[in-house]
Amino acid sequence: MDDTPLPGLPAGATARIDGTRASIILDVTGLTAADADAREAQARAVAEAAGLEARVARTATRVARRLIAVASGKGGVGKSTVSANLAVALAKRGRPVGLVDADISGPSQPRLFGVEDAKPDAADKRMYPVATPAGVPIVSMGMLVPKDQAIAWRGPMLAGALGQLLDAHWGAADPLILDLPPGTGDVQLTMVQKHRPAGAVIVSTPQDLALIDARRAIDLFEKAGVPIIGLVENMAGYACPHCGEVSDPFGSGGAEADAARLGLPFLGRIPLSREVRAASDAGTPPAAGNGTDAAAFDAVAQAVDDWLRANGG
């Protein structure tokens, strides 16, 4: 073999020549699927121009990144909406954030980001996250199965699917927001045991019934040694669009009071809003805008961003 370099190879490519064959190692760390394909095509073109048969092997360095779990303990409290808008608001602050739809059996993120028809590319048996108009790349089982097909899997299959989503070609993304399913079951156990989140955000409505299950989620993370970043009170207060009077259909202040009682940070309050519902159904996360609804998510993101800076930058 000859280690003589091939002039014109793209960045990240090295070649060894054996007769008429060029064995090219191409580092695609941090590249999108399209950029990786383009770089490989460039490397092959250089070899072929020199009269050589090109054999290309891609490599990528696994980047250490922080995982932020968003959990609720109970379904129906708006956890997926909070996850999506938290990711968008962090991206607005300049963080290269990605989002994993870890709710394997009930994936919502493709709808929330307006990419229901998108399919992820793959290379080396690993997916590339799908880019979204809001600037947050995502992966979700909702992109891999027919839209209305039930995903009725047992624990080992759920754990395997979660591992594949986390093992995607995330490039320089840090942190990853994990939209966990409700409860404290197989996916949560796999997450805390194998993938170890840097911290957890707990979402609850103000009502006692939701707070009971939120406390169970807190207990799971605390027993696993995962720091609780804080609590978010969602669906907190509804302003009448006609008279402006604020009512509290789910109660008021429950999550904030629980945070104080448990000695945990309170991250903020998200009002119950028809605009948030409509924007979410339309695939346009409100946090991407500049209105009142965006401000509520921005306040939560600021608290999470402060926590990230205090815990590794």
- Binding region for ATP: 73-80
| Angle subtended at Cα 285 by Cα 282 and Cα 288, rounded to the nearest 5 degrees | 130
Q: What angle do helix axes 254-262 and 208-223 make, rounded to 10 degrees?
A: 30
Instruction: Round to whole Å and give the CA distance between 286 and 263.
Output: 30
The torsion angles phi and psi of 17, rounded to 5 degrees, stand at: -110, 130
Helix, strand, coil abundance in the chain, percent, nearest 5: 35, 20, 40
CB of 25 closer than 8 Å to CB of 13: yes
CB-CB neighbours of 104 under 10 Å: 23
Instruction: Round to whole Å and give the CA distance between 59 and 56.
Output: 10
Ramachandran bin of 131, using left for φ above 0, alpha for ψ from -120 to 50, beta for the remaining angles: beta
Residues 6+ apart with CB under 8 A from 38: none
Q: Which residues are annotated as a binding site?
A: 73-80
